[in-house]
Every structure is written in structure tokens, then in C-alpha cells.
Amino acid sequence: MITIEHLQKNYGAKVVLRDISMIAQPGEITLLVGPNGAGKTTTIKVLAGIAKPNGGSVRIGAIDVFRNRIPSQRTLSYLPQRPNFHPRLTCSEIIRFYTRLRGLPTGRCDAMLDLAGLREFAHVRTKQLSGGTRQRLGLALLLLPDAPVLLLDEPGLSLDPGWRKRLQETLRFEAARGKTVLVTTHLIEEWNNVAHRCLLCRDGAIERELDPAHLTADFDQTDGNVSPVNQTENELRILCS
């Protein structure tokens, strides 16, 4: 379980998180949605132990993330929005490196290559991969340690619709196994009836909870005529053109 109470984070004079309080339960996918600059990514980074807060508390289970950063990091797996890999290493070499780093059985490497559909790219250097294939490599590393807490920051932006659906099915399966799954996303419409809970983040605080079965309508009621789904699709068209 993830427990955040009155989380605050500043970058100099800029206040990014002013009062984030939320709980993400085991066995559930919790979505964190909101406009750009709302504080979603910063919240994930604080949970992952790579950004230090200015106030409040963050716990994973009973472990305080910043009083016991290393033990807390051992309980989680984190997929950033744009994962980076050594450009000269192949997919197989990347996965094997993290397998050894985590002290995991070598058989996990082949299992993750298959799970992420990377078998044909096993010996391809990461600098030659498309954005979507790189994201699938990130997904393989996310699931590699079988961690009880999964943190994903905008995991679907580089994936095609088929792989976004497959990602959701994988996360539903992991949540059903008892894992705590926290996802930030702009692709709101695609998560209807997928997530168990959805929290709207705005101006560095949790504003309210949205209906996970009617996310687009519920979001648009608070944002006028601006559709976050259409906005993201336009961004994807620009990136792919």
C-alpha cells in the first residue's frame, strides 16, 4: 500500500506539490490524472525515492520512503515516461544486466523478452529501437523483479493502441495478484473500466476522485471543452509525423 500525507515539493521558488494526500491499495490500479504541471510526475518521483520532498510523509507499506530509502526502493519497480538505456547495449544485454543486479534467476531474462514481445529485438542495440519498442523494454524491466509496488509514469504515450491494451491487461493481472499499481496518464478515455480508482491532480494537490467508468465525461466537467484525450492524440500525431 502507498500512503501519502500532505506531500509538498518545491523547486526553488516554484511550488510543484502543495498538499498531496492519497492512498493506493494493494490489488488495485490507481490512476493519477490531471493537466500538465499538476504534479503527477513529481509525485511518482518522490515515491520512487529520486526526488526529495520539502514536507509531508510518504510510506510504502510501513516503510518511510526517505528515512529508509533503500529498503523502500527494494519493494517497488518504476517505469519513467522516457526510459533511457545505454545505446550500444542490446535488449538482451540490458535485461541480463538488471537480472544480475537484482540477483534474480537467469530464466527471468527470456521470460521478460517474451512478455514484452522483444524476442526478435533481443540482439538489437537500444539506439536502433523505435520509441514504442524502447517503452516495451522498459515494461520488461518494470516486471523483471516481481516487485509488490509498480509505479508507471505515462506508460502508454509511445505505444501503439494494441500494446496500450496489452499493457492494461498486464497491469490488471498484476493487480489481481495483490500488487499496488499507480499510473499517471493523459490517455484518459482508454482507461475507462480498467482502473479501480482515479484521482484528479491539479495545482499540486488531489482535487477529487473521478468515476473510473466515465473518466472522460467526469474530467471534462471540470475542464470545460478541453478534452485531454484529443490533446494527447494531437501530440502523438506531431511526434509520429
At residue 237, the pLDDT reads: 36
Does 222 score more than 60 pLDDT?
Answer: no
Pair 60, 152 in one domain: yes
Q: Domain with 177 in it: what CATH number?
A: 3.40.50.300
Pair 19, 63 in one domain: yes
Does 235 score more than 60 pLDDT?
Answer: no
Pair 99, 69 in one domain: no
Pair 64, 167 in one domain: yes
At residue 185, the pLDDT reads: 86
Per-residue pLDDT tens digits for 28-64: 999 999 888 888 999 999 999 999 999 999 999 999 9
Pair 131, 155 in one domain: no
Q: Give the pTM.
A: 0.86
Pair 135, 228 in one domain: no
Pick the last residue of a domain from 93, 114, 146. 146
What's the rounded Cα separation, in Å, for the pair 82 and 131? 9
Pick the last residue of a domain from 117, 146, 175. 146
pLDDT band at 217 (very low <50, low <70, confident <90, very high): confident
Pair 71, 161 in one domain: yes
Pair 67, 104 in one domain: no
Pair 47, 110 in one domain: no
Does 233 score more than 50 pLDDT?
Answer: no
At residue 126, the pLDDT reads: 94
At residue 147, the pLDDT reads: 95
At residue 223, the pLDDT reads: 53
Contact call for residues 15 and 7 (beta carbons, < 8 A)? no
Pair 64, 164 in one domain: yes
Q: What is the DSSP pairing of strand 63-64 with strand 149-153?
A: unpaired
Q: What is the DSSP string of 126-160?
A: GGGS-HHHHHHHHHHHHHTT--SEEEEESTTTTS-
Pick the last residue of a domain from 146, 169, 193. 146
At residue 17, the pLDDT reads: 94
Pair 196, 98 in one domain: no
Averaged pLDDT score across all residues of the chain: 87
Number of structural domains found in the chain:
2
Does 211 score more than 50 pLDDT?
Answer: yes
Q: Domain with 95 in it: what CATH number?
A: 1.10.8
The residue with greater pLDDT, 158 or 9, is 9
Pair 46, 160 in one domain: yes
Does 90 score more than 60 pLDDT?
Answer: yes
What's the rounded Cα separation, in Å, for the pair 233 and 17? 27
Q: Which domain holds residue 124?
A: 83-146
